[in-house]
Structure 1
């Protein structure tokens, strides 16, 4: 965790914990107590970052009106850029 702390830019300060007990161990609690920069956010398994990525691509697919098959990175980036022009949080 010290390597991560040193490598991550200072403006990033959140840890998403998708394994509930991860941040409950004594060692990790002590480390977090010394590092006031970090804030733990519980992410239930059903709301993991991978689920959010899958949900994002489902959104792109639905907006395209057809099955999304990206034949190039540029085409994918185009759809992502169009989404980012008017982003909405997932609920």
Structure 2
């Protein structure tokens, strides 16, 4: 499909992409959701827990979004002491490697595609 860029772009919806980047290996654990709430973030934590060896400590660097500090997240963390959350300062720039990951998604998929809805996106291409 040829790349399509026009002045009459129509937004067909939105989706939330959670991505966990292992900076040492370059691997990514990702989850797509319709909303960015603590419930969805807890699902991501469960996914990380399933996909990470249980003998490793997991250190997550996060922004200061309230979702990451909600009571259900704090309770989950108490039950999973191998997880450690580290928050970047408010209004600071995000890590460049994470930014590059999202830039590649934009370059390869979003800008080149024509989508009529969020459901029409094919992220497995």
TM-score by length of 1: 0.46
Structure (1 or 2) with the greater strand fraction: 2
Structure (1 or 2) with the greater helix fraction: 1
Q: Which has the larger radius of gyration?
A: 1
Q: Which has the higher contact order (CA 8 A, sep 6+)?
A: 2
